[in-house]
Amino acid sequence: MSLLSKLRCITVDVTGTLLAYKGELGDYYCMAAKAVGLPCPDYKRMHEGFKHAYTEMATNYPCFGHAAKMPNIVWWKTCVRDSFIRAGYDYDEETFEKIFRRIYASFGSSAPYVLFPDSVPFLRWVRSQGIPVGLVSNAEYRYQDVILPALGVNQGSEWDFGVFSGIEGVEKPNPRIYEMALERAGNFAPEETLHIGDSFRKDYLPAKSLGMHALLLDRFKTPDADNWRKAGAPVFPDLASVQDLLNSGNIDLLKEL
């Protein structure tokens, strides 16, 4: 009997687990600026500017402005404008509007993302075993409605339900987002559910705090993975190795997750 037969649901993180960003942030900001006849912004300054602008927006208006009822496009427009200003580029309103529209459209498409080759096979395999799959992500609505479908990750064929922070108004590491996933799955018990993610703080700890099984992926060989292991987290290189684990008949392995 496989480990999978002991589970009633599997929840999966999205960014860093199923897909990754392609290229650098500066690539898309540069293309947007060049499209309106401007020089390419400095990559390093843009990266630092965006990092600080995003952190400030996420602190003041969490979950992409959900509680403040801020439209998604306004949240991103404020963040992108602040990113440019912090990087030393204060464009006039008309110019900025043209640049922003291109950036917003790019990140609302599949262009900046790449799907890991084992993601779709894994999701389909889990569902073929009669186990529902839920996505739990700190992401805005476009992940659910546009980006994932454009990448060939569709509700009904690769996943069954989703809990996205920009839609629900709660985000990791708040355990409530995992409680919502359990409710949406059909009120399964935490011990009947496995969560797979790539963040010790946002995925592993809150899922375990509810009594769920949890494991982490280390797709990029991060130095942090050694600390995850020392703290007791099972760490795997990819979803193919997780599938091998779940095909295993060693029930003691599940108790360790």
Give per-residue pLDDT as tens, 224-236: 999 999 999 999 9
If asked whether residues 141 and 177 sit together in one domain, one would say yes
138 with 171: CB under 8 angstroms? yes
127 with 3: CB under 8 angstroms? no
If asked whether residues 157 and 118 sit together in one domain, one would say yes
If asked whether residues 9 and 40 sit together in one domain, one would say no
Stated length of the chain:
257
If asked whether residues 238 and 155 sit together in one domain, one would say yes
Owning domain of residue 94: 25-107
Which of the listed residues 107, 127, 151 is the one where a domain comes to its end? Answer: 107
CATH of the domain at 33: 1.10.150.720
Q: What is the dihedral of CA 220, 221, 226, 229, to 10 degrees?
A: 60
| Vertex 4 angle, CA 16 and 219, to 5° | 20
Instruction: Provide φ and ψ at 61, rounded to 5°.
Output: -135, 70
Tell me the three state secondary structure of residue 211: coil
pLDDT in tens, 35-92: 999 999 999 999 999 999 999 999 999 999 999 999 999 999 999 999 999 999 999 9
If asked whether residues 100 and 205 sit together in one domain, one would say no
Enter the tokens of residue 165.
């922070």
| pTM of the entire predicted model | 0.94
What total of structural domains would you count in the chain?
Answer: 2
If asked whether residues 148 and 222 sit together in one domain, one would say yes
* DSSP tag of 6: G
Peptide bond into 173 cis (omega under 30): yes
Which of the listed residues 52, 73, 107 is the one where a domain comes to its end? Answer: 107
If asked whether residues 85 and 35 sit together in one domain, one would say yes
Which of the listed residues 107, 139, 169 is the one where a domain comes to its end? Answer: 107
If asked whether residues 222 and 151 sit together in one domain, one would say yes
DSSP H or E run through 194: strand 193-197
